[in-house]
Amino acid sequence: MSSKLKIEELGSTLNMEYKWLKPQAYFFAFFCLFWDGFLVVWYSIAFATDGPLMMILFPLIHVAVGAGLTYYTICLFVNKSYIEVDNSRLSIRHAPLPWWRGTVDLHPRDLEQLYVKEKINKGENGTTKQYSVRAKLKDGSDKSIIGFIGMEAHEAQQVEKKIESFLRIPDYYVEGEYGLTAKRMSNEVKTRRPIAGMPGDQSLKNLQLGSFLDFESNSYKVSYVTQYDWKNGDTDRLFQLQSIGRDKDRLLHLGQQRGTLNVFVEAKINLMESRAFAFSTENAPDKLQYQEHDFVLVQQSSGQLYLNDANSGLPVEQWTYESGQRYHIRVVSYQGMLEYFIGERELEGSFYKILNP
């Protein structure tokens, strides 16, 4: 652990504190004293002797350089960067002196991946290297999170790994990333699970294996989870709810579509009924009929399927049919098998007393 990096994890909040001070700060301080002192003497002479206007205007560029370098040097001695992460934001701020990059505020759901980037600067006085932590966002953009001249590679990597671990972002290789290239590629890792909230702040979005919840006056335990990571960035989950009591077991499907959570209580369609669909993966029908309802194909998806808590996925395809806003049929194809699910939409508030492990 770097002596300049302090990490504290308090409940559902991660706090990191990074000191700017580095050995070069003492050289900069000496240089600024010499540079600024020379300018003070220069202007003292210019004003004392009523020197020509050019004598006053000529060093203005040097004054600007001196002021900027002096401010930067003071920041190196007194400033710290504060990183705060929870399930609703990732915030970076610098204090006590303002810095030109200002504050960074991102929502964790917008983060696709974090990585460390190396920038090599070659000049007359040699080569310098700068390391920064950058965020690859789900909208395709790329944003610098934190990085200064003097930040070591291992310090930047510590920040990256700690945030990824806290937010449960699976680590994979990003083109241009500094360090090991032996990381798995993006299509080989599982989409992160949601961050567990504080007690009393539970929701369906945080549901996981071993969770408990109530629905229609009955209690259930999540006994199995199937996760679907789609190529468009969405993630769906199918939970097997084991009844605690005499009620039948249920299937709960949480579908994510552009950030919106769609909740369906599902049941498997048996083999005899599914044969009536005459479904073919090579030529999927535009419409299906089931129990006097007409269903229209609205989406075809492909991606990776993860059974229970497995980290390795299986190729999967899914066809989603809808009958109005209330019902849907999902046809899922993986490992040469076809599974059919009929679902009825439910309100998220219909599920209560949610307790996550």
| Helix count and strand count (H, E) for the chain | 5, 19
132, containing H or E segment:
strand 126-137
In single-letter form, the type of residue at position 38 comes to: F
Question: For 215, what's the count of Cα atoms within 13 Å in the CB-facing half-sphere?
Answer: 25
Q: Which of 228, 247, 230, 229 is nearest to 238 (CA)?
A: 228
What's the rounded Cα separation, in Å, for the pair 285 and 277?
9
Which pLDDT tens digits describe the chain residue by residue (357 residues)?
Answer: 567 888 887 767 889 999 988 888 899 999 999 998 988 988 888 888 887 888 888 888 999 999 999 999 999 999 999 999 987 789 999 999 988 777 888 988 888 889 999 888 887 777 778 888 999 998 889 998 887 666 788 888 889 988 988 887 877 778 888 875 546 555 555 565 544 443 444 678 888 888 999 998 889 999 999 999 998 888 999 999 999 877 788 999 998 776 678 999 999 999 889 999 999 999 999 999 999 899 999 999 999 999 887 778 899 999 999 999 899 999 999 988 999 999 999 988 889 888 877
Q: Looking up tokens 């600067």, which residue turns up?
A: 121
Encode pLDDT of 198-217 as tens digits.
Answer: 344 467 888 888 899 999 88
The gap from C-alpha 258 to its chain's centroid, in whole angstroms, comes to 15
In single-letter form, the type of residue at position 159 comes to: V
**Which SS3 state, helix, strand or coil, does residue 32 take?**
helix
Report domain extents, the chain: 87-189, 204-355
Tokens representing 207 are 């549901």
Question: For 221, what's the count of Cα atoms within 13 Å in the CB-facing half-sphere?
Answer: 5
Task: Work out the burial of residue 10: count CB atoms within 10 Å of its CB; fewer than 13 is exposed, 13-18 middle, 19 or more buried.
Answer: exposed
pTM (two decimals) = 0.53
Tokens representing 140 are 């395709």
